[in-house]
Amino acid sequence: EVRAFLDGLRRTFRAIEKSDCVFIAAINGAAFGGGTELALACDLRVASPATEMGLTEVKLGIIPGGGGTQRLARLIGPGRAKDLILTARRVNAAEAFSIGLVNRLAPEGHLLEVAFQLAEAVVENAPVAVATAKHAIDEGTGLELDDALALELKKYEEVLKTEDRLEGIRAFAEKRPPVYKGR
């Protein structure tokens, strides 16, 4: 049963990562184990002052099974990931921000407001370009630099063919906000 549960969890998290949509985690309070793993699968993370995060599974005689060992190390580096995972240490919002585990800190009572502001900043941009940039970052992170740069060029050439690129250039020249259609 554990294997089936983890397979479902992993498929869900990978679907988040592979989606063209940008996922923003708004974290309020305790997010341990699977809660932190879900946040790690998201593209961006916003935390309230009450946030506490950690991959504390070793205290239970197991390890993070939803991708936490891999995603955390890629996000904050292997040394910091080992510090958190091997000690089952919990971090508060301020430390999570300082080590790059979360992208933004929200003032008390303003978590959703900050998360929505972040979402609005993303949505203002060309959807195809946003999705392509997301995939270029995710796919290129594990590659050697020359291969990653070749991937970036390939992704850049993909967005050159879009109507949104032409709209962005026209809007810039006409000094007006662009109206993107996702094509």
Catalytic, out of 17, 52, 57, 158: 57
DSSP state string for 49-113: TT-EEE--GGGGT----SSHHHHHHHHH-HHHHHHHHHHT--EEHHHHHHTTS-SEEPPTT-HHH
Max distance between CA atoms of the chain, in angstroms, equals: 61
Select which of 17, 37, 52, 139 is catalytic. Answer: 37
Residue 57 falls in the annotated catalytic set: yes
Residues 6 or more apart whose Cβ sits within 8 Å of residue 85: 55, 57, 58, 63, 64, 68, 69, 72
Both tokens assigned to 122: 């993303």
Residues annotated as catalytic (active site), given as ranges: 37, 57
